[in-house]
Amino acid sequence: MCYLNIIFLTCALLATSIAQNSSKDAIGFPEMEENPDLRNKENRQPVFIPARCPDNELFYPGDQKDDWICDCRPAHLYHPGTDKCWPAFRQGPCEVGQYLVLPQNSVIPVCEQNPCNTDTLVQLNGNCEKLGSIAPCNHLYPVSSSLGVNSTTLVVSCVTLSLETRFTEVIGVLCPPGSRRSVNGKCVPTLL
């Protein structure tokens, strides 16, 4: 009987704990689309926590154990006038027909006339192309690329897509007995 009381109390405490932490603050997602070179010296990656940081920002680790800060996502620009981060080469806080860019030798973004006059369209090689489209990057085949903003240079270019799934790569090496391949492509011990 005492054993059943302990199990009941443990379940009740666990349920209470889960209910208290069920807000959207409790869930964080590693930002897989981001540049792996952005990891800090402790090899910690930024994470996306919806309620922790404003729109278009990620929770970046500092170099200390508990040092974290919200900052703009890669290829986004901080606009002091609105105190927000906006995607580069998009309308953002600008007037219709303009987009937000970062001029050379400047740290403050400005609104410039978009030669294509439409949000999500940018000029590449004299043509108006849609951001995210793959057609302008077909010359890079078989490397999967789409038109985007380079997060390092902040210029429009063909950006390599990250297609790391277990369905696109053929794994030639088998896992050793007693283990299986995880979704990440690594061999992990099989739990019985």
pLDDT tens readout for residues 133-181? 999 998 888 778 899 999 889 999 999 876 554 344 555 677 888 888 8
pTM tops 0.75: no
Mean pLDDT value across residues 67-88: 92
Indicate the residue among 74, 101, 135 that finishes a domain: 74
Asked if residues 166 and 175 have their Cβ atoms less than 8 Å apart, the reply is: no
Instruction: State pLDDT tens for residues 104-134.
Output: 989 999 999 999 999 999 999 999 999 999 9
Domain range for residue 69?
26-74
Indicate the residue among 55, 74, 93 that finishes a domain: 74
Kindly state whether residue 191 falls inside one of the protein's structural domains.
yes
User: What radius of gyration, in Å, describes the C-alpha atoms of the chain?
Assistant: 23
Indicate the residue among 14, 40, 74 that finishes a domain: 74
Kindly state whether residue 20 falls inside one of the protein's structural domains.
no
Structure tokens at 31: 């930002």
Strands 127-130 and 145-149: unpaired
Tally of structural domains, the chain = 2
Kindly state whether residue 81 falls inside one of the protein's structural domains.
no
Amino acid (one-letter) located at 187: C
- DSSP for residue 98: E
- DSSP-assigned letters across all residues of 100-153: EE--TT-SS-EEEE-TT-STTEEEETTEEEETT-SGGGGGGTTS-EEEEE-TTT
Residues 6+ apart with CB under 8 A from 155: 149
Q: In the predicted model, what is the mean pLDDT of the chain? A: 78
Kindly state whether residue 21 falls inside one of the protein's structural domains.
no
Provide the pLDDT for residue 167. Answer: 44
